Amino acid sequence: MPTVTEALAMMDYGPAPESAAVAMDWLKGRAFGHFINGSFTKPGETFAVTNPATGADLAQVSQGTEADVAEAVKAARSAAKGWAKLSGGQRARHLYALARLMQKRERLFAVLETLDNGKPIRESRDIDVPLAVRHFYHHAGWAELLADEFPGMRPHGVCGQIIPWNFPLLMLAWKVAPALAAGNTVVLKPAEFTPLTALLFAELCVEAGLPKGVVNIVTGDGRTGAALVAAEVDKIAFTGSTEVGRLIRQQTAGSGKALTLELGGKSPFIVFAEADLDAAVEGVVDAIWFNQGEVCCAGSRILVQEQVAETFTARLKARMAKLRVGDPLDKSTDVGAVVHTTQLDRIRGLVDQAVQQGAILHQAPMPNGPGSFCPPMLLTDLGAANIANTEEIFGPVVTLMTFRTPGEAVELANNTRYGLAASIWSENLTTALDIAAQVKAGVVWINGTNMFDANAPFGGMRESGFGREGAREGMLAYLTGDEATGKERKAPAAVSALPGEASGDAVDRTRKLYIGGAQKRPDGGYSYAVAGAQIPLGGRKDIRNAVEAAHGAKGWSKVTGHNRAQVLYFLAENLSARAKDFAPKDEVAQAVERAFYWAAWADKYDGKVHSTTGPNVTLAMKEPFGVMGIVCPEEAPLLGFVSTVLPAIAMGNRVVAVASQSNPVPALDLYQVLDTSDVPGGVVNIVTGPRGELAETLAKHDDVAALWVFADSDLCRKAEAFSAGNLKPVWAESRMRDWTGPAGQSRDFLRRSVQVKTVWVPYGA
């Protein structure tokens, strides 16, 4: 008789199939039109949607044309007023109804999702669908509380929403629920590989009695998406690849459309020597082999501390070998089918290249037979520049490298253009939180990975995009209200360059740039004349020098809010003491008040602890961007400068400010106040000259993390378009603000000075 251990070793899984019947009955080989104004249109030109596990056709779906998109936008527009007019409570009832109906159809949704996408039924049943339902419940709550919690704010109007194929229903929920809660109407375009659960959701909208036109769904590929971006919508919310995100940034530049981008990632998974290694191995399974690795925030780069690397790698390989790849409808399958053969080819191509570049490939066993399957893979013995470490593979492929010190771990973790997520494994919470603060990522999981909740903000930094989904922060992305309402700004008259500096008796009136805490001559050696003063004509090189100086002033972002407040109070006092030296006279007193105002905020605009599911402390930390560019308003040369630069530095940013072009003297004169107020060199840098050229350099600069532009509409458009390189968030405002009133110290200045980092800290003995 075998021992228990031997019996366990001999045991195998029996088949545990979930029946596809419930979904196949619903599909019945149907051809779908679009869901516009509360009903389905007749199918137009259609394409087949297939089951990646078998290659079989599931349904025919229409390819949305420009006309289809226009019709959907029209329906959403007509519905917008009525929907926004409903009380929060009334909108909440609709969202509850949708949540309940989704719950009632959980099984159908889960099976349909698995058939369409290839993900294991265990995941669609236990993760995708319950989370989608949770989003609708959570946002029903926000609808209810909207007026109290977001006073003075209003919906954008019509939102165009474009989503990818990896979490089709969940991405729909992340987009549709907050948009509707805030009072917007939507036109959603699902991904062409996986539109089916969105079409089922459309049926629920009818059943829930949602007013016609509030939700519209147009299917199709990238061309349909592009038509939606170009359509008359007020906001675009996009989740997908960085490449397409960049295109959308360029296409929406200057259109006034609000934009949020949730893009790709190459997230680190950091294992310290003191980590619970078995838990970390299980973490890798959830990080990269969950959903076939088709997860934007997948932990795709393991960084393990040298002294435990061998043990960890051995355990990981043993675990990987046991993963079951196969029929997604089987409840004991760990890894299902990759969404489409084109994606499978892409994964294989990238892995081949990684191997050619020297990586060693280890992989799990594969099922026999047809279907778009890819075994879990581990790549070792590779350098940081290997393509598998630099490119998002979007498949079940993870790389492994080692590090020695925590500093090296941070360096390797941040050695990517992305900044979506990070996972940190250590039983030493002090180390883990220290590293969490240093990694460039919008979401950090400590001793965990891929945890999501409707009340936890999700989104990226750097080329992973901007904007957050979920929680209060996600609601703000669907609301507006703080924008300027004054006249459109005009571009200032062009400047003519004068060689050299002022000579003779005018010498004392020659100003200098202020860079790195010192007065600097402009690199080109030119100046321009303004009202008898000679102003340095700064150029690209000066901006680059200023950005370098701002980078050098890193310490400012690390000091406490209390320390920053003290410096700002001192600045306000010094400005007050020198008030008589400053012009324009009518701005000085208010500039002093404003300096005190932003000083007061320096230690108060803090984060939150969100209530999420599970035993977690989920922190939403407000972090400064780092180096920000600010093209200050042309009008209000002193007050406008103070009102924009000071909130940014109060929140811990270092700023390269472009002063008013036609009246730069008040800003340049501020250097004396900055010098005497203990503002460290490099925290505020002031450049004058042709604003167009200076703004362009800031927008294109990869080391400028966020940009504000208060300028004419043409410059605003250019700044947005030029920012597509590193995808920095741009706040471009072409209408004038009343700097003397409440709009001059709106909460928006704080909100736009920080980005939220969500840190999940699990607890439990």
**Angle, in degrees to the nearest 10, between helices 222-230 and 242-252:** 30
SS3 content of the chain, % helix, strand, coil (to 5): 45, 20, 35
- Site residues (CB under 6 A) for ligand NAD, limited to 401-420: 420
Q: Does 241 bind ligand NAD (CB under 6 A)?
A: yes
Active site residue 296: yes
Question: Which range of residues in 187-195, 306-314, 361-369, 510-518 is near ligand NAD by CB under 6 A?
Answer: 187-195
253 phi, psi to nearest 5 deg:
-55, 130
**Residue 15, exposed/middle/buried by CB under 10 A (0-12, 13-18, 19+)?**
exposed
Cβ-proximal residues to 682 (8 Å cutoff; 6+ apart), any chain: 516, 517, 549, 550, 551, 552, 553, 556, 654
Which of 133, 229, 461, 724 is close enough to bind ligand NAD by CB under 6 A?
229
From the CB of 165, what's the least distance to ligand NAD, in Å? 5
Which of 290, 394, 556, 710 is close enough to bind ligand NAD by CB under 6 A?
394
Between 239 and 313, CB nearer to ligand NAD = 239
Question: Which range of residues in 76-84, 138-146, 164-172, 577-585 is near ligand NAD by CB under 6 A?
Answer: 164-172
Measured distance CA(111)–CA(19) in Å, rounded:
8
Q: Would you call 29 helix, strand, or coil by DSSP?
A: coil
Measured distance CA(288)–CA(388) in Å, rounded:
13
From the CB of 298, what's the least distance to ligand NAD, in Å? 8
From the CB of 465, what's the least distance to ligand NAD, in Å? 6
Between 196 and 420, CB nearer to ligand NAD = 420
Between 59 and 297, CB nearer to ligand NAD = 297
Tokens of 68: 């289809």
Which of 141, 264, 371, 470 is close enough to bind ligand NAD by CB under 6 A?
264
Number of amino acids touching ligand NAD (CB under 6 A): 29
Amino acid sitting at position 607 = G
- Site residues (CB under 6 A) for ligand NAD, limited to 459-518: 460, 464
Question: Which range of residues in 1-9, 116-124, 184-192, 569-577 is near ligand NAD by CB under 6 A?
Answer: 184-192
Q: Does 226 bind ligand NAD (CB under 6 A)?
A: yes
Tell me the residue ranges of DSSP E strands in 665-737: 684-687, 706-710, 730-733
Measured distance CA(169)–CA(133) in Å, rounded:
10
Which of 64, 265, 474, 744 is close enough to bind ligand NAD by CB under 6 A?
265
Measured distance CA(366)–CA(689) in Å, rounded:
63
Q: Which helix (H) or strand (E) holds 130?
A: helix 129-149
Measured distance CA(664)–CA(535) in Å, rounded:
8
Q: Yes or no: say if 419 and 462 are a contact pair by the CB < 8 Å rule.
A: yes
Between 230 and 559, CB nearer to ligand NAD = 230
From the CB of 55, what's the least distance to ligand NAD, in Å? 19
Which of 286, 327, 392, 587 is close enough to bind ligand NAD by CB under 6 A?
392
Between 460 and 689, CB nearer to ligand NAD = 460
Chain residue at closest Cβ approach to ligand NAD: 225
108 phi, psi to nearest 5 deg:
-60, -45
Q: Does 156 bind ligand NAD (CB under 6 A)?
A: no
**Residue 691, exposed/middle/buried by CB under 10 A (0-12, 13-18, 19+)?**
buried
261 phi, psi to nearest 5 deg:
-130, 120
Q: Does 219 bind ligand NAD (CB under 6 A)?
A: no
How many helices and strands in the chain, by DSSP H and E?
27, 33
Q: Does 263 bind ligand NAD (CB under 6 A)?
A: yes
- Site residues (CB under 6 A) for ligand NAD, limited to 282-311: 296
Q: Yes or no: say if 162 and 190 are a contact pair by the CB < 8 Å rule.
A: no
Q: Yes or no: say if 270 and 303 are a contact pair by the CB < 8 Å rule.
A: yes
Q: Would you call 55 helix, strand, or coil by DSSP?
A: coil
Sheet of strand 608-610, all strands in order from the earlier edge strand to the far edge: 360-363, 377-380, 397-403, 299-305, 267-271, 421-425, 443-446, 754-762, 616-624, 608-610
Question: Which range of residues in 238-246, 443-451, 553-561, 600-608 is near ligand NAD by CB under 6 A?
Answer: 238-246
Between 656 and 759, CB nearer to ligand NAD = 759
Q: Yes or no: say if 131 and 173 are a contact pair by the CB < 8 Å rule.
A: yes
Q: Yes or no: say if 166 and 291 are a contact pair by the CB < 8 Å rule.
A: yes
Q: Does 448 bind ligand NAD (CB under 6 A)?
A: no
Q: Does 623 bind ligand NAD (CB under 6 A)?
A: no
Between 53 and 226, CB nearer to ligand NAD = 226
Catalytic: which of 71, 113, 144, 262? 262
From the CB of 136, what's the least distance to ligand NAD, in Å? 18
Question: Which range of residues in 48-56, 139-147, 263-271, 282-290 is near ligand NAD by CB under 6 A?
Answer: 263-271
Q: What is the residue whose two structure tokens read 């393509």? A: 387
Q: Does 221 bind ligand NAD (CB under 6 A)?
A: yes
Ranges of H-type helices in 357-417:
387-390, 406-413
Active site residue 593: no
Q: What is the residue whose two structure tokens read 């829930």? A: 208
Question: Which range of residues in 219-227, 525-533, 647-655, 694-702 is near ligand NAD by CB under 6 A?
Answer: 219-227
From the CB of 395, what's the least distance to ligand NAD, in Å? 11
From the CB of 167, what's the least distance to ligand NAD, in Å? 6
Catalytic: which of 159, 205, 296, 374? 296
CB 504: neighbour CB atoms within 10 A? 5
Q: Would you call 423 helix, strand, or coil by DSSP?
A: strand
Q: Does 225 bind ligand NAD (CB under 6 A)?
A: yes
From the CB of 162, what's the least distance to ligand NAD, in Å? 5
From the CB of 479, what's the least distance to ligand NAD, in Å? 20
From the CB of 15, what's the least distance to ligand NAD, in Å? 31
Q: Does 335 bind ligand NAD (CB under 6 A)?
A: no
Between 164 and 375, CB nearer to ligand NAD = 164
Which of 18, 192, 234, 748 is close enough to bind ligand NAD by CB under 6 A?
192
Ranges of H-type helices in 259-340:
277-284, 306-321
CA 374 to chain centre: 29
Q: Yes or no: say if 72 and 254 are a contact pair by the CB < 8 Å rule.
A: no
Which of 52, 64, 160, 240 is close enough to bind ligand NAD by CB under 6 A?
240
From the CB of 227, what's the least distance to ligand NAD, in Å? 8
From the CB of 612, what's the least distance to ligand NAD, in Å? 17
Q: Which helix (H) or strand (E) holds 400?
A: strand 397-403
Q: Does 542 bind ligand NAD (CB under 6 A)?
A: no
Binding interface with ligand NAD (CB under 6 A): 162-166, 189, 191-192, 221-222, 225-226, 229, 239-241, 244, 247-248, 262-265, 296, 392, 394, 420, 460, 464
Which residues does the annotation mark as catalytic? 262, 296
